[in-house]
Chains A and B, each alone.
Chain A
Amino acid sequence: MKITTRTLVIAAVFLAITLLLGQIPFLGFVPMPWGINATTLQIPTILAGIIAGPLGGLLTGLGFGVTSFIRAGQPGGNIIFTDPLISILPRLFIGPVAWAVYAALRRRNEALAALVGGAAGSLTNTVLVVGMIILTGKLAPAVIIPIGAANGSGEAILSALVTLAVVAAWRGFAVGRRRGASI
């Protein structure tokens, strides 16, 4: 498949955003009321998929994976991601899944498509990461599934809402039943 210049550049710039989010606490992590920090790092990959297509999402996801792999070995890194099967492989599917869901639903309702696409991309990440942790025998399902569920739900909600806001601004459509400012 031919990668267009635009796809390539969008993937690259969104990867740059991913790199930055990981370093900025108030952007990279949102504390959830149920006591965990949901990350936003998957969001640029989701958006790369929706905006630049599955290949764009794949490229950003690969970059996201490689950085989380490398950063796992840095001071303060999360050691579970030192296994590339956990840090890289799952990320490859985020963008394509988000794109597929968005593309399938957008004719019906674009806002809904963005919302569900965002959530789907994020859940892909969570499910595959948890799955790989179990498959590689790192942690028992009984341990990792509850953790994954707590993180994954927060991240899915976060991703869905941010994706919606960005896609609405990018495509120029209005969200919500209310038309106009609430003042």
Chain B
Amino acid sequence: MLRLDGVYHTYSLPGGATIDALRGISLTVADGERVALVGANGSGKSTLARHLNGLLLPTRGDVYVNDINTRDKAQLQAIRQTVGIIFQDPDNQLVATVVEEDVAFGPENLGVPHGELHDRVTQALDAVDLAAERKRPPHLLSGGQRQRVAIAGILAMRPRVIVLDEATAMLDPRGRRDVLDILARLHDEGVTIVQVTHFMNEAALADRVIILDAGQVAVDGPPARVFEDRERLLALGLDVPAPARLSLAARRVLPDLPIALTPEGFATSVAPSLTPGPSPKMGEGKTTEDSFLLPLSRSGRGGRGERDLIEVRGLEHVYLKGTPLASAALRGVDFDVREGEILGVVGATGSGKSTLLQHLNGLLRPQAGRVRVLDLDLGHPKTDIRQARRLVGLVFQNPEDGLFEQYVGDDIAFGPRNLGLDRAEVRERVREAMELVGLDFDAFKDRLTFSLSGGQRRRVALAGVLALKPRVLVLDEPTAGLDPGARAALLKQLTRLNRETGLTIVIATHSMDDLAEIADRIAILAQGRVVLTGTPREVFGQPERLAEHHLGLPQAAEIAAALRRHGCAIPADILTVDEAERVLLPLLAPAPTPEAV
């Protein structure tokens, strides 16, 4: 189906420098295969993906689609029709202002006759379950729905191969699951799938995993084999998915255990070897009280933060109030932020997380209800809102997009200057803020902002808010779009800030794993109300409540849940893979051999 023959690709930069993004890639993808393409940032995944339908041509070597060389200009349309690509941001793929017209765009380009166009559009929209939305403008759909429109636009071209370049990266868990379901169905129908992803648990769903490293194929094989060598993956800037990690750990006891790829797979594979637990009977383990669990680093901190820094009562917010487009985002939120804690805010898309966060520093004023920050009443018209903004620093999603100064130092100084501080003080603030995010003051302050890498830019943006010296740092989806390495680094930085400076932190996120790692408390938002608050252990111990609100569990908790379904008396409120490992290993014994029975 796809064949790459010694493909090199070199980008030339304006200054005359060059980047070798691909360095001799040879591989074939068979008809009907499902391939996951993974690798660290900059390893060449997107560049490779763009070679698969001739968007880029190799500097050296050749790419064949169905034995047609992508250099063959006359066959360009045939190639594009055979191999469709879905990109990361649905907004940058949709052309038309009505869903069905957008889906028709590809077939129109192919010159498909008018009569057939309608059938194709209808079929494609049915395939992604969006028939009901066909007359709506895309901007009124959710991100997940929009990405499905983009997929429909490709399906309407009847491709044999679909390439997805991090197509799930910007979606919330539910949107991601919808897209993965569609992929599974297409795969069953025989469509070849090449999926670029940073999520290892998505890669585990493929028939084959290809790992790129600096423009070359480093590893290529079925996932169960690829995930056997965790050291190797860590060295490549990646990791194995949680079930595989536990399988590897369990091999210390059960050397023949296969590498599991899903929580269910793991549970099935270890179930026969589980010794009936000492105390709680199988299948009866009641959740929370079996927390004979390890004194966790975090568990002692519940007593912290007696004082409420922020108090929200009965908060309501309606966007575009009084117009036909009015939509209620908050419907009576009660919510507290305690001094010194890390508080996680989760909720399905549209549940009101961002709206709530914007009330905490007065960007939005309460329409009804009360918001108190220390002793400032933000609903009171006489309150000096600038003071609230100083106390509560708000970092928006993808904050690096907002950098505007030429030099890093000036950008970070924007806030302190707005406070009217004098030059020496501004400089001191900038220095401190940069140190807090791990950027060396002297090395970075005079760098051109636009020459930094994505991760560095995000840290500059974070420093820009920290330079205000806020008492509370509020972050909206701070890890969105980061690769696993950068994500881990950022979380570590935030934990350190919290521990060392006592900074109170509020994080809105879709990542339960992030929260399992760093949150002291979690608040769950659904349809504009806080429906559940508690420690991570309390919250994740109630998977049914979470499912009700279309929320998932951290990976380790998923595995625990699967084990419990198989009758293992493991506590349900396990949060991290390390914990799971410590609890599970003592329960495992080599399966009795048939003779012994």
**Taking beta carbons and an 8 Å cutoff, which residues of A are in contact with B?**
168-169, 171-172, 174-175, 179-183
Contacts and interface: CB of A to CB of B under 8 A. Distances in A.
A183 B445 contact: yes
B86 interface: no
Report the interface size class on chain B: 10 to 19
A172 B451 contact: yes
A181 B417 CA distance: 13
B423 interface: yes
Contact of B427 (A168, A172, A179, A183): A183
Q: Interface residues of A: mostly helix, strand, loop or mixed?
A: loop
A181 B14 contact: no
Sorted nearest first, the 4 A-B pairs with minimum C-beta distance are A181-B409, A180-B446, A181-B407, A181-B410
Interface in B403-453: 404-410, 413, 423, 426-427, 430, 445-446, 448-451
30 contacts: A169-B404, A169-B406, A169-B449, A169-B450, A171-B14, A172-B14, A172-B450, A172-B451, A174-B406, A174-B448, A175-B406, A179-B446, A180-B407, A180-B409, A180-B446, A181-B405, A181-B407, A181-B408, A181-B409, A181-B430, A181-B445, A181-B446, A182-B407, A182-B409, A182-B410, A183-B409, A183-B410, A183-B423, A183-B427, A183-B445
Interface in B371-413: 404-410, 413
Most chain B CB within 10 A, of A168, A175, A182, is at A182
A16 to B, nearest CB: 12
A178 to B, nearest CB: 9
A172 B448 contact: yes
Nearest to B405: A181
A149 to B, nearest CB: 31
A81 B184 CA distance: 56
Given A168-B406, A171-B14, A175-B406, A183 B426 contact: yes
A182 B446 CA distance: 9
Given A183-B410, A183-B426, 6 more contacts: A169-B406, A172-B14, A172-B450, A175-B406, A181-B407, A181-B446
A50 to B, nearest CB: 15
Nearest to B403: A169
A123 B14 CA distance: 31
A179 B410 CA distance: 12
B443 to A, nearest CB: 12
Contacts of B413: 181, 183
Nearest to B446: A180
B448 A183 contact: no
Contacts of A180: 407, 409, 445-446
B562 to A, nearest CB: 47
Nearest to A182: B410
B431 to A, nearest CB: 9
A169 B403 CA distance: 10
A171 B449 CA distance: 12
Nearest to A169: B450
Contacts of B446: 179-181
Contacts of A181: 405, 407-410, 413, 430, 445-446
A180 B409 CA distance: 8
A160 to B, nearest CB: 17
Most chain B CB within 10 A, of A172, A174, A175, is at A172
Contacts of B448: 172, 174
A39 B407 CA distance: 28
Contacts of A175: 406
Contact of B430 (A174, A179, A183): A183
Contacts of B404: 169
A172 B449 CA distance: 9
Most chain A CB within 10 A, of B14, B407, B427, B445, is at B407
Contacts of B426: 183
Most chain B CB within 10 A, of A175, A179, A180, A183, is at A183
Nearest to B13: A172
Contacts of A179: 446
A175 B408 CA distance: 14
A182 B406 CA distance: 11
A183 B442 CA distance: 11
A129 B408 CA distance: 41
Contacts of B407: 180-182
Contacts of A172: 14, 448, 450-451
B97 to A, nearest CB: 12
Nearest to A171: B14
A19 to B, nearest CB: 13
A174 B409 CA distance: 14
Contacts of A168: 406
Most chain A CB within 10 A, of B406, B426, B448, is at B406
Contacts of A174: 406, 448
Interface in B439-491: 445-446, 448-451
Nearest to B444: A181
Nearest to B413: A183
A182 B410 CA distance: 6
A175 B404 CA distance: 13
A172 B447 CA distance: 11
A157 B451 CA distance: 28
B402 to A, nearest CB: 12
B593 to A, nearest CB: 66
Nearest to B429: A183
A183 B427 CA distance: 5
A182 B408 CA distance: 10
B248 to A, nearest CB: 45
A168 B406 CA distance: 8
B429 to A, nearest CB: 9
Contacts of A183: 409-410, 413, 423, 426-427, 430, 445
B547 to A, nearest CB: 40
A3 to B, nearest CB: 15
B407 to A, nearest CB: 4
Nearest to A9: B95
Contacts of B406: 168-169, 174-175
